[in-house]
Chains A and B, each alone.
Chain A
């Protein structure tokens, strides 16, 4: 079957190190997406994580402007330091085609909870702006993630790079309890039967497609989803429709 793919998990920019070949620019990523038959992507810049969220966010905005296939994901820090979150933050997001946010609390050394982000996250919940978190890159512990979701049970949260070892015992309670908690599939696909079991238990609406590019191979996640033992309409939902719905519900 022909699926339209909307990639929820890829980044641009050259990292400090790594064996993989990166997409240096927005243009490079679009070329790779065409090769892989991916229609759209939410993308961030590696410098947002490795160097400076503030400068990285600006680099990202420059790289995605002019490419209708690309939407941006900015990195946030606690509002108290005024480094990222300013009065006109949401207007700037809109101006720069930024549709989502991410955070790396362990790496950027802050606590992602109500104490640090109370009012701002209430705003995210109301506007239904998705927050991307990763279980890779020393981002967040499972305990902190559980506490965050308990603090903000209606938060739209998409968990990426869920790990090489199966993590259903961690993720399934979150899928069960929180209506706007989603999993990105690039490593869920890695687990034998993981995709099918999650769909059977929670429905396909809880999953969004991702490739993990440039660290991982897009064709891996594509082949797994195309031949997953689930109905075609579930595959369509995971491949692109769920993420499109999440973005349609967003009020920037």
Chain B
């Protein structure tokens, strides 16, 4: 991998150059929280943010999108609106890149998902490293570093960003800026290593994932799920903010007086009451307990079986978003039979 460095004071110049590769989006402060959005000027960008409310999946799997337009006599015409928009998303944390990498697997495989894949290919990712806060457990989820899924990745080494060039597109961005990037020296690498191990020490929250799928199997009938079901409001907030939640609904809306209309998909959550309800009234997951259990089971058992790792990147958003303070660290500690969870 090509490794360079960028002087920090040149970052705004770099951002102005990469505009030629697409709309530049980055974390921006909004009411004390952060959101990814289009920059109107570089000074809005806040690269020292903790976490954005929504992960980058909102770009590849928008909260609502039109898949087809139905026209009598023509059938279902694929909607391509907005698919060709080029975006450069700057300031993405490793956990969120990891989240996208996992979604890439879900939306490919035996069946492609053209809208997702097209948006993903049209989005450049420029990652940036970060310091964990009390809700971060990406290290436990092995998502504190990524080796792919980004075009460039910036690591803070003092006066410079050590820059990993991940793709040909990333390399083109570097070349487009002219002589902005410099060769990284052995001292720069040493500084990177020093900061990397200091970051390792900074995690306050730890979740042990080894043998967790087996624990889930053993505790499937546990009363813990009923307790959680009593507490959970089934609001779906954790799903909406989760970088790896991808459940969606597909529904047609017909224009009044005709069958013409659109087929739209929108975010859904396995916590919503009707998620597993079929026509005729049968609901395979009627209780809140069964639904929150499925969410945990799918992420920490199902993903492991299907993709070899949990469907969680430890970003901490579900902890921040839950209105009744359901905390994944507590849930897993309880399942493991640890009374006073040392993780907090």
Q: Is the pairing of A and B real?
A: no
The residues of A with any CB-CB pair to B shorter than 8 Å are none
